[in-house]
Amino acid sequence: MEYTVEMSNKLNELLEKTYDAEKGFKQAAENVNNPVIQKFFKERANQRYDFGHELKKEIRAFGQDPDKGGSTKGTLHRNWMNLRSYFESNNEEAMLNEVERGEKEAINTYNDIINDKKFVLPPSTENLLMKQRNAIRETLDTASVYENAVS
């Protein structure tokens, strides 16, 4: 039972970060004027919404209840993004820079869970986490391309 509780706790932490990312992307979409970048942010918010539902399903498979809401750290990050948008001369570049920072952190979180040697992930969990992590890597690459284009 400890394995199940520990795994669901890790997945719930990841779920909170997913909620934070979804909210952050929505906020970023509201704070940029470039329609291409705005669409990118909206699509990523929808992607994270889907990630959240996938994680909730996996948490329930462990017999646990998914957490609701986001983390305090995520709220602080979104507030920082909002504050930076007022002071930066290039709003799109500032938002994309923050996205890159957040996505790198997300990839590290996924890797920590995937590579945790304390237990072996069930195949469904490992496949889900690897799929989501790889999608986040693609987001990071795309954000970098957009950032170079607007800088």
Q: How far apart (Å, rounded) are the C-alpha atoms in residues 50 and 33?
A: 25
Closest listed residue to residue 25, CA positions, set 129, 87, 134, 106: 106
Low-confidence ranges of the chain (pLDDT < 70): 1-3, 69-90
Show the domains of the chain with their CATH numbers.
2-150 (1.20.1260.10)
pLDDT score, position 28: 86
pLDDT score, position 40: 95
pLDDT score, position 121: 85
Look up residue 62 and give its DSSP letter: T
Contact 15, 67 (CB under 8 A): yes
The pTM (predicted TM-score) of the whole model is 0.84
Contact 29, 42 (CB under 8 A): yes
Residue partners of 125: CB distance under 8 A and separation at least 6: 7, 11, 58
Tokens encoding 41: 């942010």
pLDDT score, position 97: 84
